[in-house]
Chains A and B, each alone.
Chain A
């Protein structure tokens, strides 16, 4: 029951924006990013226009060097566009300074990384609290702890709050990282190759959590180079040489629950035959 309430709390923000439905979560217009490495100019992203509506589950795909990582960093407000415009939830990111970008990330974005990036020798709950420590809203210690525990329950690890990362499996660590991304009630969940370090079974489990969150209204953008993983999303954007070459809904969409079922049956079959 407590878990159900927590879920409601986490998505309260998203629900209200559904009702108004005035602006997309992400709006890129002719977005470009150029890096200067020594004498050479690298045009990582060359004029991309893209809109992501609330409730979407988008996969950005592409080979290495296609510009998908740069896109990811820019959407995550870790960087500002060289030219063009980026509106995150109606806020013009290009006009903001370093500190304002940090605040924006804190309020509106949750990050999930390939390498989990959990603080070692720090319990799961304390890892999840991390974004709240930097919140400008003056959240009390008690509320921080409650929200962290609720977020942990949401990813199905409610009992392991005091475990340290080295006591958790890879999949569990990624769940903690997802809980950390959710704890500040973000508008957008950004996942950078979230299954890159995980085996097939665990990957599907993690995708199941994302599908679950998306079904409850969370907007998710995920970068991946694996088509198998992208098929769990709703929409797929393929990049090549800094441009979007394909942008289409996922037709043959996979459901994590079914895939997990299939995988388990296969494994049982293998065990029986051997």
Chain B
């Protein structure tokens, strides 16, 4: 007996009791739908993280000033200022295979223009900064090495900040007040979007780090230094060079901990996506439970079906069906149930993911892998939970089955 004929018998048997078939499928539909929706939400979060890390720039290494561990108290990245201007300059001089480098000095300040004012993040950076972060200018020009050396009061303005202060008019060439010091806006930054931590990267003012240190923050150390390696393959080498140079400059003896942290972009990315991955697994696992419940539902209804159709099984055997034919018939019936349920579930899950991203604004990502996995998993559930009832049917004695009331 061929597979196609068996399939037709299975479909007919399922159509004979439409309501029951639909209810049985519902378990699988909900299970698969939940898995698809949950995993795509998790994947979306992960993809968003990755995009944000990528927005850091290409082949970027970040050096954070040390973890202070004085008196057993550990601060976070950049909590104690161990990176000096001299460290930065020797790093630029001595480390090879580097495209550019820029320190980062962070402060918040009140910006004012006309009768508008706003509290915004002011970043003191080097002239390389916008290149390292592949941050295009929407207007004007970057400030120069000369501006940095002379601590000129020039600034690049972020898109959000510019819109708040200037509305639709062009900010380039205007003078704004940063903590009462007048800064000339020389360039308008293009849009960059949200950062890894979820803050708006466009709400920012970039000024030469020299100006920031002298006129705004008063710090004389850097929170972090950003270095761009020339090639992806040289990342580890550059990382090594930086570590050695800084240990030497800070006179750290062998066996002592660094008072700084060097992280490649990949390491930062891994850290950020790990949490998203864990979330994906967790959501997936919870949803899988409902899939297994759906499978048990299939097994239950198949057992009922085998009992109900005992006489039919007896008749089929009497006219020449082998045990294997009966086994296949019920197995294919179970797999058809779970597969059709799975396909509906996949569509529903995709719709659900779409709905979530539309209404809640979460980014979701339905990957072909998760669809394939859900498809084959639901088939496997049909086989797994359908096998026992099918075998029970196949092992019936034809005489008893024919006589069954």
Contact = CB atoms under 8 A, between A and B. Distances in A.
A134 B325 contact: yes
A130 B322 contact: no
Nearest to B398: A78
A76 B315 CA distance: 12
- Size range of the chain A interface in the assembly: 20 to 34
A117 B311 contact: yes
Interface string A115-147: 001011110000000110111000000000000
Interface string B1-18: 100010001001000100
A76 B320 contact: no
Interface in B306-324: 311-312, 314-324
A111 interface: yes
Interface string B320-344: 1111110000000000000000000
B322 A78 contact: no
A56 to B, nearest CB: 22
Contacts, number: 59
Contacts of B293: none
User: Which of under 10, 10 to 19, 20 to 34, or 35 or more describes the interface residues of B?
Assistant: 20 to 34
Contacts of B399: 73, 78-79
B320 A134 contact: yes
B321 A98 contact: no
Contact of A134 (B1, B312, B314): B1
Contacts of B314: 117
A106 B323 contact: no
Contacts of A122: 12
A133 B5 contact: yes
Contacts of B398: 78
Given A78-B399, A113-B402, A133-B5, A99 B320 contact: no
B321 A102 contact: yes
B338 to A, nearest CB: 23
Given A79-B399, A117-B315, A134-B1, A106 B320 contact: yes
A103 interface: yes
B318 A134 contact: no
A140 to B, nearest CB: 11
A105 interface: yes
A78 B397 CA distance: 9
A170 B320 CA distance: 25
B402 A134 contact: no
A111 B323 CA distance: 19
B402 A102 contact: no
B313 to A, nearest CB: 11
A105 B312 contact: no
Contact of B316 (A103, A113, A130): A130
A196 B324 CA distance: 33
B319 A130 contact: yes
A180 interface: yes
Contact of B318 (A78, A99, A107): A78
B320 A135 contact: yes
Given A78-B399, A117-B311, A131 B12 contact: no
Interface string A233-244: 000000000000
Nearest to A73: B399
Given A122-B12, A134-B1, A99 B316 contact: no
A74 B116 CA distance: 102
Interface in A75-94: 76, 78-79
Which has the most chain A C-beta neighbours within 10 Å: B5, B312, B319? B319
A184 B16 CA distance: 27
Contacts of A113: 315, 402
A98 to B, nearest CB: 6
B322 A102 contact: yes
Q: Max chain B CB contacts within 10 Å: which of A106, A117, A133?
A: A133
Given A99-B322, A99-B323, A133-B5, 18 more contacts: A76-B318, A78-B398, A79-B399, A99-B324, A102-B317, A102-B320, A102-B322, A103-B320, A103-B322, A106-B319, A106-B320, A113-B402, A117-B311, A119-B315, A130-B319, A133-B9, A134-B319, A180-B319
Interface of A: 73, 76, 78-79, 98-99, 102-103, 105-107, 111, 113, 117, 119-122, 130-131, 133-135, 180, 184
Q: Which 4 A-B pairs have the closest CB atoms?
A: A106-B320, A134-B320, A131-B319, A102-B322
17 contacts: A73-B399, A78-B402, A98-B323, A102-B317, A102-B320, A106-B320, A111-B318, A117-B314, A119-B315, A122-B12, A131-B320, A134-B316, A134-B320, A134-B322, A135-B320, A180-B319, A184-B320
